[in-house]
Structure 1
Amino acid sequence: MNFKKLLPLLLLFVSVSFYAQGESMQEKKEKIKTLKVAFFTTELDLTTNEAEKFWAIYNTFDDKQFELRHQKMRAFMKRMSDGSLDKITEKEANNFLVQMEDTEEELFLLRKKFTQNLKKILPSIKIIKLRKAEEDFNRKLLHQYRNKGHNK
């Protein structure tokens, strides 16, 4: 499995682990959002006009993406963590696969629409830089999370 396919799963597991820690999910989400704004602002070098339009579109996209990943996958994650995964029937496993595929397709369509909306306000090079900045940010976040775990 290549890293690009593994990254969303890793992010899902990292975000689910946030539930088990002291701060509320909303507080952690806001911290990450603040870090993301700073990182993207530096990486994309947006003009004031671009930034105003970009953040409105990006925040809507990011919220919908978060909602899809967490609400749709919550049942699957619960099933994986409660030990009953080894006891499910082939039919139940097939239903889970269909749910996962549907969620992945919804995420793909959401990303596609997001990119189409960005094309109206940003040059293509900045959209490509955004994709790279997202990957770099997620990699840094995951690295920071791993290092925090080793320091306990």
Structure 2
Amino acid sequence: MKPYLFLLTLFCAVILSATAAFAQDRRENVEAAKVAFLTDKMALTSEQSQKFWPIYNEYEAKRRELVKAYRGGYRQDVDELSEQEAKARIDSMFAVRERELDLEKEYVARYNRVITAKQLILLYRGEREFTKMLLKRLDNGKRPNQ
């Protein structure tokens, strides 16, 4: 019985590793498409692109960490929260949004050393357009017979 358990465990580990690798590849493909899309939308020169993307990636990583920290307890069922805990959750949400805004202001100053204000507006528009496009493609992929 133990050899079968070992083989089953090994098989599950291989499947999980393959799934994780596939998800990582997909994420990398989406990120590469986003970079290409935004570079085009913003009409970045090669010099701007070379300086801009490391700053942008640094900002995105810090922003993700902020959101991740907030969402840690977010999945808890609302019905399980006391009124006081719910108020604390709302206060925490606003605190994270304020930190996000402070972070964005900090990075806008850094972006403006590399790109123009118009390019920054195009960045914000492009991010929204890319997200809409991605969601539309995901939605189309879920529909049967398409």
TM-score w.r.t. structure 1 length? 0.74
CA apart distance, 1:26:
4.3
Cα RMSD (Å): 1.9
| Sequence identity percentage | 26
Tell me: CA distance 1:33–1:124, structure 2 relative to 1, closer, same or farther (3 Å).
Answer: same
- After superposition, the Cα gap between the structure-2 partners of 1:68 and 1:26, relative to the gap in structure 1 and judged at 3 Å, is farther
Counterpart check, 1:48 vs 2:46: yes
5+ unaligned residues in a row in structure 2: which ranges?
Answer: 1-18
How many residues are paired up? 126
- Of residues 114, 117, 132 in structure 2, which corresponds to 1:121? 114
What is the SS of the residue equivalent to 2:72? helix
Question: Which digits, 9 at most, give the CA deviation of each residue in 1:61-104, with x for residues without a partner?
Answer: 1111122222321211x21xxxx311311101011111111111
Which segments of structure 1 move beyond 3 Å, counting only runs of 4 or more? 22-29
The aligned runs of 1:1-152 (5 Å cut-off) are 22-23=19-20, 26-76=24-74, 78-79=75-76, 84-151=77-144
Unaligned 5+ segments in structure 1 are 1-21
TM-score, normalised relative to structure 2: 0.77
Q: Which structure would you say has the larger Rg?
A: 2
Inter-CA distance 59–71: structure 2 relative to 1 (3 Å threshold): same
Residue 12 of structure 2 is matched in structure 1 by none
